[in-house]
Structure 1
Amino acid sequence: MGGSFSSRPPPPSPLLSAPWRRINWSDNHSTLQYVKAYQPETEDQVIRILLHGLVGSGKSSFINSVESVLRNRMCIPALVGNATQDCFTREVNPNAKISKDDRFYKPTPSANDKVHVLVFVIDANKWSLMNEKALEALDDIRDEAKLLDIPQVAILTKIDEVCPEIQKDIKNVYKSKELKEKMEKVSGAVGVPMNCIFPVKNYSKELDLDSDTDALILSALKPILDFGNDHLNKRYA
């Protein structure tokens, strides 16, 4: 008896053959030293970074993660909320702008009172679930920042929940086809170019630091400082 059979082709790989963006996974030291040593060119000046995002997007966790990397140990200086709790970080409300009668209103703000870089913190796993009202709020804040010529950056959090391959090995972050598609959608919807969008994995369950997780956090932190510094120097030009 003769017979034949057909085999199904293997499913397409969720990973690209090569990363579309490269970062140095083996040398966190130089970037860490750069960040730690950074000082604005003007004495007594500080860079103010405004984090904006929905409740549970990972703002507080990002602050904690950055602090942990800088101190080389786990830190929890900012309390972390979630979608069912009050948020422990506060953000501006574009629909309720500060009035001249408010005690925090400053008619002639100094450079230290102003925002120098705006960072959108977006949950990569829930991006598609953002409603129209949330997107409109992002647009309103983007427009205000644009009028003030404030540079804008986006941080994509919880990337390990997007792609199992990233969960297996965080170094697959720039090989993941799904994450790249999400970043492209975020870029189109929020208006932040791809080279200003940085995927990160915040520390949330871990007890110890991980050098690859640190590398992603540092690769986001350095350009945030650079963009803020550029904006600050424009003010003094």
Structure 2
Amino acid sequence: MKNNVQHKGVTAQVVLGLLVIAMGLLFLLDNLGLVDMHRAFSFWPMLFVIVGTVKLCDTRSQGGTLLGAGLVGVGILLMLDRLDIIDFSVRTLWPLVLIGLGGYLVSKSLRSRGMLGGVAAGEGAGMLDGTGSGEVVDITAILGGYERRVATQDFRGGEITAVMGGCELDMRSASIHGEAVINVFAFWGGVTIKCPPDWTVILLGTPILGGFEEKTAVPPDGSKRLVIRGYAIMGGVEIRN
């Protein structure tokens, strides 16, 4: 069955490319003596805005949208604090992180029960169920670790997010009908994906001060393809058998 997980990576790459061009122009103007980059570096919270924007452009899940919006919001608040418009500190940030994490858990629980317009998780529903046999994965690890085993014989892809944490997905007992796509997003974190030796792995990820690494065997044919897309920002993504 053809993978039904859509991808918005082109938009994210355009946004990221424009941001990289803007940074290059700033460094060029600094070399020409037109701007002072030492003052510009004081606006480091823009990193959260950039990462959050990339995540928003690259996600198809509600959890990914909440995470991207949260990163953008934190970056804006820190920027306003640097500009002395508001008084915002790391001490204020931690309660907001807890509130956001709690809201995400509540929304995910309600969605899995079909109370937010979603489909209840179960056999054929596409989400991971209690036995780990979901056809579509939606995994998020923030400031922690997540390990999961998938044994479905009709894996269709999904989304994995690791922010200052780690995710490990073991699919060595699973199978694919044709092609599946996994969108990964590792920010100060790591993602490890274990797949069967008869899967052809296609890496289309973009590393930014991070890395994508493939350690898989050469499959006998290309009938089963696993496409890995996404970003590793100061983090790493590893695919192995």
| Higher RCO (C-alpha under 8 Å, 6+ residues apart) | 1
Higher percent of residues as strand: 2
Give TM-score scaled by structure 2 length: 0.26
Decide which structure has the larger Cα Rg and report it. Answer: 1
Higher percent of residues as helix: 1
